[in-house]
Amino acid sequence: MRKNTFLLALLFAILLIIVFTISLKYLLHHRYYNNANTALYYYFHGIAAYHKKDYPLFAEYLTKAVESAPYNPNLIYNLARAYALNGNKKDSLKLLNRCVELGFYFNSPDSSFDENESNDFKLIKDSVEFKTILKTIERTNIPINNSEIAFEVPEKDLMPESISYDPAEHLFYIGSAYKSKIISIDKKGYIRNLTDKEHDRLWSVWGIKVDTERRILWATSSPWYGTKGFKENDFGITGVFKYDLAKKTLIKKYILDERPLLHEFNDLVITSAGDVFITDDLFGAVYRISHKKNALELFLKPTLLTYPNGIALSQDEQLLYIAHRGGILVINLATKSYFPLSHPSNTSLCEIDGLYFYKNSLIAIQGTYRPPRVVRFFLNDTLLQVDSARIIESANPLFMLPTTGVIVEDIFYYIANSQLNCYTKENKIFALDKLHDIVILKTEL
């Protein structure tokens, strides 16, 4: 009897190991976004090693991640953690100083050490050098608040990722990642649904843009683990949805399904001719819907892109700016040549969600920065280099993962609290009493 019980327990343990291994591989497969040997590839391998307490391997992978994206402060910070865990005090402190140089304040009031991080840095926490870093942060990390509340949306579990504006009807449109819908809100605060859940069959809404001249709203959508009613089997499909703003109806869907190859359209931008350019974060590419062909096509898959997100178009419509984990990539639309946007060594163009071109500058929302911030990057005459940067908003107490915005004349409206980080480890949305009404901030540029 004891022997049988032991064998059953052993078989159960083996089964658990197999399930865990398969689950981990499945998770990593999803998170690699089809691209091996990228910054994210190394990062997620490193985090997996960290959870296994294999700290030498954690350091090895994070070293490669930083080599792939040398200006990404989040990766630099995690490599500092890895060095501290491996007893390398000197290099850990050096990298933490580099984070501060890039404006990444790891002990900011809204993003202080959690228990694990505190333990990870116990090697250096009591050192004079580390205390000096903290004093530098305390001295330089001053909240910058130039924004005011434009309006609020009393729908706590909306989880908005995107916002656009229609000047013809004076309506703001907001896309919901959790509820898979697009709403409009007028000057008086009246809210209505643009989308029809049963007919449109939207997934999480990521990017939306209004083509004012043609009275069209374009939206990107993909299944996501945080979507209400998410189905695992749908992961990897994506699409662009085209709406008639006059009739408030869906015109057409452009669906991309190449599984097991994974796709996820993120943000988009529209040319004056009506061409639409779309970022695909999982595939690491840019797609296009030309007004002539009216069909979805792969425009470019640059080797330098890692999780492309925000996208902006220069005023002369010759250059496309793509925000990704390594910085900002500039694409010449005529030649399809591309190169990283040059910038000063003390400036990071990483961790950008929303990206917008405005009067020879780029407005960027760095929502996962510490603390989150909105920054204006001033470009030189060639538009190929950042000359300087000015923080517009930083450490706003209303910030809960700010994401995207829209420029209306000279005013920037943006989502202050998407709350897309308000999920449990089981990917369940927080209870409503732990969420807040959605706040849209505005600031003059």
Give per-residue pLDDT as tens, 71-97.
999 999 999 999 999 999 999 999 999
Q: How many CA atoms lie within 13 A of 184 on its CB side?
A: 19
Question: Helix count (H) and strand count (E) of the chain?
Answer: 8, 24
Cα 100 to chain centroid, rounded? 21
Encoded tokens for 294: 């009216």
Q: Is 389:363 a contact under the CB 8 Å cutoff?
A: no
**269-285 average pLDDT score:** 97
The enclosing H or E element of 13 equals: helix 2-31
Pairwise CA distance, residues 71 & 102, whole Å: 8
Q: Could you check whether the bond before residue 371 is cis, i.e. omega within 30 degrees of 0? A: yes
Domain 32-140, CATH number (from 3.40.640.10, 1.25.40.10, 3.40.109.10, 1.10.340.30): 1.25.40.10
* Residue 439 burial class via C-beta count within 10 angstroms: exposed 0-12, middle 13-18, buried 19 and up: buried
Residue with tokens 């060639």: 382
Torsion of CA 431, 434, 437, 441, to 10 degrees: -130
Tens of pLDDT, residue by residue over 191-234, are 999 998 889 999 999 999 999 999 999 999 999 998 998 988 89
The enclosing H or E element of 438 equals: strand 438-444
Amino acid at 308: P
- CA distances to 54, 55, 92, 121, 316 from 87, rounded to whole Å, are 13, 10, 9, 10, 52
Q: Is 268:209 a contact under the CB 8 Å cutoff?
A: yes
- pLDDT recorded at residue 116: 61
* pLDDT confidence bin for 2, thresholds 50/70/90: very low
**388-413 average pLDDT score:** 97
For the chain, give every residue range classified as CATH 1.25.40.10. 32-140
Pairwise CA distance, residues 229 & 212, whole Å: 33
Percentage of the chain modeled with pLDDT above 70: 89
- pLDDT recorded at residue 115: 52
The residues, ordered by sequence, that sit 6+ positions from 138 with a Cβ below 8 Å of its Cβ are none
Q: Is 222:256 a contact under the CB 8 Å cutoff?
A: no
How many CB atoms lie under 10 A from the CB of residue 445?
Answer: 15
- pLDDT recorded at residue 35: 67
Assigned CATH for 148-444 = 2.120.10.30
* pLDDT confidence bin for 34, thresholds 50/70/90: low
Pairwise CA distance, residues 350 & 367, whole Å: 10
* pLDDT confidence bin for 37, thresholds 50/70/90: confident
- pLDDT recorded at residue 114: 52
Is pLDDT of 32 > 90? no
Q: Is 73:39 a contact under the CB 8 Å cutoff?
A: no
Q: Is 99:133 a contact under the CB 8 Å cutoff?
A: no
Is pLDDT of 21 > 70? no
Name the residue among 112, 113, 101, 114 with its Cα closest to residue 140: 101
Q: What DSSP line would sit under 294-339, residue for residue?
A: -SEEEEE--TT-SS---EEE-TTS-EEEEEETTEEEEEETTT--EE
Name the residue among 107, 113, 118, 95 with its Cα closest to residue 141: 107
The residues, ordered by sequence, that sit 6+ positions from 54 with a Cβ below 8 Å of its Cβ are none
**306-314 average pLDDT score:** 96
Tens of pLDDT, residue by residue over 89-137, are 999 999 999 999 999 997 643 344 455 667 899 899 889 999 999 999 9
Tens of pLDDT, residue by residue over 337-387, are 999 999 999 999 999 999 999 999 999 999 999 999 999 999 999 999 999
Q: Is 308:33 a contact under the CB 8 Å cutoff?
A: no
Q: Which pTM value belongs to this model?
A: 0.90
- pLDDT recorded at residue 402: 97
Question: What stretches of 245-300 adopt beta strand conformation (E)?
Answer: 249-256, 265-270, 276-280, 285-289, 296-300
